Structure 1
Amino acid sequence: MTISKKVKVKIKGFLVVVSLFLVVSAIGQDAYISVKAEKGDGVYSLLRKQGVDPYETFDDFIALNSENLRDSIHLYEGRTYFLPTPDSISSIEKVKEEAPILVNSVSYPLFGEAYSDVVIKNTRLKGAVYYLISGHGGPDPGAMTKYGETYISEDEYAYDLTLRLARELMAQSATVYVIIQDKDDGIRDERILEMDRDEVAFPDKVIPLNQTARLRQRVDIVNELHKKHSGQFQRLIVTHVDSRSKGQNIDVFFYHHAKSKNGKKLAESIHETFKLKYKKYQPNRTYTGTFQDRTSLYLVKKTHPAMTFIEIGNIRNKKDQKRILEPDNRQALAKWISEGVIKDFESGEIGPIR
């Protein structure tokens, strides 16, 4: 599998544990403790409150509680969850060692120390190539607003979501190029993401201050890589955070090139995934996000791969800020987008450039 020259492929033994019943049965009744999720708890905050390192135990927590999680990563308020302990982790590791299923793991340092190892879960996206661009970066922070006493910026949250999406796609055996990169940040689990200006464009190009030059640079990078992977299934996903009036709450919405059949299908596949997720998890709320053509956008107009341009919310609106600032929500967004991407690939075609 080719991800990029910077990725080192290692073989490790893992068991993809998908059943809480099987795991708990293997562990036994005395090897774990339980805790009730309170209002506002996410997986990371719950583990931290119990004095458990979330970075070391996150995957084990998910394995222990997979049948009791909303959309694979969210807790239900008031429900009881099993907490990883040394005994339970040891038992899980024993199950893993005895399991006949071995899968690859890749190390991708750009994700940061806590997330650099990516377990390859399956080959559903094998052969597909994805270019991921997070909006703004370098000298341009994008949309900004004051949250409490701190300023937050579009580029940091779009970048964190993009890294999470890249990790999800790699786990499905896709080849992924992260076009805007910050070697220092990685995936972050804080609500307030500190602003900086040290992002570069793949592989290590300085991002221009001039907007047109900045966009042209990204177009040139993607189009050159597109030529390199000629004949393969290729898609581009651009992620932004919108800025509107504080009172305007918006859903996630998607743009595509007016003449791109494949771009429209990609946008529609992700859009349909979001509609289904909202219907399942927020049945009393109407999802108003749309997908539509917007060829006037520079990246939409000039890039060669079929693409979708995603706006994930209004950075100035309090309700949208919850979607953007909460790390569990950013992870859910990445997972939902990845599910739409898989749907597009499995029902798709390589097709012409557009």
Structure 2
Amino acid sequence: MHKKIPESPSILIRITIHTIFILFWFGNSFAQNSDHPEVKARRGDGIYNLLERNGLPAGEYLNKFIELNKSKLGPNNTLYEGRSYLLPVATLFAEEPLFGKEHEKVRIQDRKLEGAIFYLVSGHGGPDPGAMGKIGKHRLTEDEYAYDVTLRLGRALIQHGAKVYFIIRDPKDGIRDEYYLENRSDEYCYPHQKIPLDQNQRLRQRAAAVNELYKRDPSSKYKRCIIIHVDARNRHRNIDLFFYHFEKSKSGEQLAEAMRHSMKVNYKENQPNRGYNGTVSSRRLYMLTRTNPTAVYIEMGNINHTRDQQRLIYPDNRQALADWLTEGIVKDYQSRQ
């Protein structure tokens, strides 16, 4: 089901470095039977220790095991020594503490982006909040909303099997579901660098971090750097997401077009009368010209415009942004396989 990005509260929808993959079953002298591994019960085995011995937490997989093997079990769900039983197929997870306690455990849904590597850079941070807007007494700062969408995008990419490096990192915030995100200055640049106030130093620091990580995975043929910002214009200027790429980067242009197309398609499906006017263009921005991987720079809207603010402040909308951008990224990756 596609996510919607409504422009009013009444029609809202709801949607690493050091990524740790945990495969819950390793098998214990089993053969494959259909999609389920098969194992023989030993003397004294009960379901609990059979599952635990094969790396499956009994609390999570007990009922699944019983359902799979109900015709083979004895009274009170006992096991017969020497009889073969099917094991539930375990789920693959990743863990990323940057997402926060509620979101750090990530279920891998598929392998659509297996082999792809992403370097995600949210704008500003540390001593620089970036562009600022206001809703009533609430101040909106670019760095907080860009960071939240960046985390959500990274999580969605990991769900499709990608490796994700977060260049700007916050040890406390994680993915937040509040409307008004408190501005803090504790973000740092990978791996543990203090973010400088000077813009030129800040950009050099980020590009260097991306380029250093870029060297670590020489075998990957698909590496992309995505930089996320929020624009600031006259409060009367409503804008859609727009995308920049380096003028000499065909792969950057293709990725930007894929993401723009995904946004347009999803807007058309979910808000058919709204229209979408997001653009793709080239621009000689520092992060586009100085990073080694193909890079795309995204502006998510005008932090001073009422409708664009709704795109930012509602957590469902931020999630939809991440999901729709991910759809475009998947299409771009698959077109190159």
Question: What TM-score results when the alignment is normalised by the length of structure 2?
Answer: 0.76
* Deviation of the 1:7 alpha carbon: 3.1
Specify the alignment match of 2:19 in structure 1. 7
* Deviation of the 1:229 alpha carbon: 1.8
Percent sequence identity over aligned pairs: 47
Specify the alignment match of 1:85 in structure 2. none
Matched, 1:267 2:248: no
- Give the counterpart letter for 1:249 in structure 2: N
Specify the alignment match of 1:248 in structure 2. 237
Matched, 1:139 2:151: no
Specify the alignment match of 2:225 in structure 1. 236
Greater relative CO (CA pairs within 8 A, separation 6+): 2
After superposition, where does 1:93-112 map in structure 2 within 5 Å?
100-112=88-100
Query: Deviation string for 1:252-309 (max 9, x for gaps)?
Result: 1111011101101100111111111111111112210011111x21111111111110
Matched, 1:289 2:278: yes
- Structure 2 Cα separation of the partners of residues 243 and 277 of structure 1: 24
- Give the counterpart letter for 1:258 in structure 2: E
After superposition, where does 1:203-222 map in structure 2 within 5 Å?
203-222=191-210
Q: Tell me, what secondary structure is at the counterpart of 1:196?
A: coil
- Structure 1 Cα separation of the partners of residues 211 and 21 of structure 2: 26
The runs of 5 or more residues in structure 1 that have no matched partner are: 14-89, 350-354
CA RMSD in angstroms, aligned pairs only: 2.1
Identify if the C-alpha distance between structure 1 residues 204 and 282 changes in structure 2 by more than 3 Å, giving closer, same or farther.
same
Query: Deviation string for 1:21-49 (max 9, x for gaps)?
Result: xxxxxxxxxxxxxxxxxxxxxxxxxxxxx
Q: Given that residues 19 and 163 in structure 2 are in contact (C-alpha distance below 8 angstroms), is that contact kept between their aligned partners in structure 1?
A: no
- Structure 1 Cα separation of the partners of residues 185 and 127 of structure 2: 6
Matched, 1:167 2:172: no
- Give the counterpart letter for 1:141 in structure 2: P
* Deviation of the 1:180 alpha carbon: 0.1
Query: Deviation string for 1:331-353 (max 9, x for gaps)?
Result: 0000001111111111126xxxx
- Structure 1 Cα separation of the partners of residues 164 and 201 of structure 2: 24
Identify if the C-alpha distance between structure 1 residues 246 and 94 changes in structure 2 by more than 3 Å, giving closer, same or farther.
farther
* Deviation of the 1:11 alpha carbon: 3.3
- Give the counterpart letter for 2:240 in structure 1: D
Identify if the C-alpha distance between structure 1 residues 247 and 170 changes in structure 2 by more than 3 Å, giving closer, same or farther.
same
* Deviation of the 1:95 alpha carbon: 6.4
Q: Tell me, what secondary structure is at the counterpart of 1:267?
A: helix
Identify if the C-alpha distance between structure 1 residues 319 and 231 changes in structure 2 by more than 3 Å, giving closer, same or farther.
same
Identify if the C-alpha distance between structure 1 residues 94 and 143 changes in structure 2 by more than 3 Å, giving closer, same or farther.
farther
* Deviation of the 1:98 alpha carbon: 5.1
Identify if the C-alpha distance between structure 1 residues 261 and 150 changes in structure 2 by more than 3 Å, giving closer, same or farther.
same
Identify if the C-alpha distance between structure 1 residues 98 and 121 changes in structure 2 by more than 3 Å, giving closer, same or farther.
farther
- Structure 1 Cα separation of the partners of residues 233 and 189 of structure 2: 27
* Deviation of the 1:223 alpha carbon: 0.9
Specify the alignment match of 1:36 in structure 2. none
Query: Deviation string for 1:219-243 (max 9, x for gaps)?
Result: 1111111122224110010000000
From 267, 276, 279, the counterpart of 2:265: 276
Matched, 1:223 2:240: no
- Structure 2 Cα separation of the partners of residues 264 and 227 of structure 1: 23
- Give the counterpart letter for 1:124 in structure 2: K
- Structure 2 Cα separation of the partners of residues 288 and 133 of structure 1: 24
- Structure 1 Cα separation of the partners of residues 300 and 262 of structure 2: 14
Identify if the C-alpha distance between structure 1 residues 98 and 330 changes in structure 2 by more than 3 Å, giving closer, same or farther.
farther
Specify the alignment match of 2:292 in structure 1. 304
Larger radius of gyration: 2
* Deviation of the 1:12 alpha carbon: 4.8
- Give the counterpart letter for 2:218 in structure 1: S
Q: More deviation in 150-159 or 223-232?
A: 223-232
Matched, 1:200 2:217: no
- Give the counterpart letter for 2:21 in structure 1: V
Q: More deviation in 199-208 or 185-194?
A: 199-208
